[in-house]
Amino acid sequence: MARLPAPAGALPADVVGLRAALLAWFDGGGRALAFRVRREPDPWAVLVSEVMAQQTQVTRVDAKWRVFMDRFRTPADLAAAPLGDVIRAWSGLGYNRRAVDLQRAARAIVESGGAVPADVPSLQALPGVGPYTARAVAAIAFGRAVGAVDVNVRRVLGRLTTGESAPVPARVLQTAADALVDPSRPGDWTHALMDLGATVCRPGRPACGACPIRAWCALPGPARVAAPPPALEPARPIGPRRAVPFAATSRWLRGRIVERLCSEPPGTGVAFHGPLGLHPPEAVSAALASLVADGLVELDGLGAARLAGERA
């Protein structure tokens, strides 16, 4: 079967077969996730799930999405909630700034009439919504034939078109993604590509033998990816760089501060004067200042911290 040409060109005649093969595979074994609603998806629920899934594993999103949607069933519910309540409901997903942006998006939606916008430009104009999230919501919630390109989809399409022999420019890759969408099932197509990249077309060891679209792929074979040739001599380190433990990062520190505040009753101030984990007091102060700047935390006159919107 012919391989796909460069994505900027016309679609091959057998793209219909590619679509059918991938969707049949998805129908038989797609990941069962709570936020995947097959019939009449709620655009607000889809938007929430896609924002949650930014930089977060879908298995963590699955359970959290249920609880969040029970609390904030509509954009109006989220828009009217105290920010501290939103942050508490978000706790555990990481990258808490997304909760602030999602509430800002909800308020923008309410101000515009209460309906989640259906087109990509209007979606992308919402706070915290980038090109991928806008296209995913447009495809899944509104049936628009647009391709959502996340890291998994980028890898799948790159292998399909070039076999990883050369990087594919983002604009060209987006053209391919848009052209390959199944126009009759754009939402399922979006989920199917994501699942393929997450479970079969993996970064280091793709399971090419289990791939439903292997016949269309330009990747030479799993051996080229899974088992690179051994070096003739042990590789020498280029410099003194060492991996930084997660517990030593500012992201870890910010997360622990927010977790601590979420564990306290609403409005309770917490003083962070000493070290926290591997971080000295001055690093804790800097993390608090960054959380304040991001709108997640407030400080009172004595330096006690509270979640934003929970000032006593």
Confidence of residue 312 (pLDDT cuts 50, 70, 90): low
Of 62 and 68, the structure prediction assigns the larger pLDDT to 68
What is the rounded distance in angstroms from the CA atom of residue 263 to the CA atom of residue 148? 36
What positions carry a catalytic annotation?
50
Confidence of residue 233 (pLDDT cuts 50, 70, 90): very low
Please enumerate in sequence order all residues whose Cβ is within 8 A of that of 115, keeping only pairs 6 or more positions apart, or say none: 43, 109
Res 311 pLDDT > 90? no
Please enumerate in sequence order all residues whose Cβ is within 8 A of that of 56, keeping only pairs 6 or more positions apart, or say none: 93, 94, 95
CA-CA distances (angstroms) from residue 132 to 47, 154, 174, 182, 263?
Answer: 11, 11, 10, 17, 33
Q: What is the reported pLDDT for 267?
A: 81
* Range scoring the smallest mean pLDDT among 31-45, 134-148, 149-163: 31-45
Q: What is the reported pLDDT for 259?
A: 87
Delineate the domains of the chain, giving CATH numbers in brackets.
7-221 (1.10.340.30), 246-307 (1.10.10)
192-204 mean pLDDT = 92
Of 301 and 114, the structure prediction assigns the larger pLDDT to 114
Tell me, what DSSP letter sits at residue 210?
A: G
Q: What is the reported pLDDT for 7?
A: 41
What is the rounded distance in angstroms from the CA atom of residue 190 to the CA atom of residue 132? 11
CA-CA distances (angstroms) from residue 17 to 13, 20, 160, 221, 278?
Answer: 9, 5, 14, 21, 55
Does pTM surpass 0.75?
A: yes
Mean pLDDT of the chain: 84
Which SS3 state, helix, strand or coil, does residue 245 take?
Answer: coil
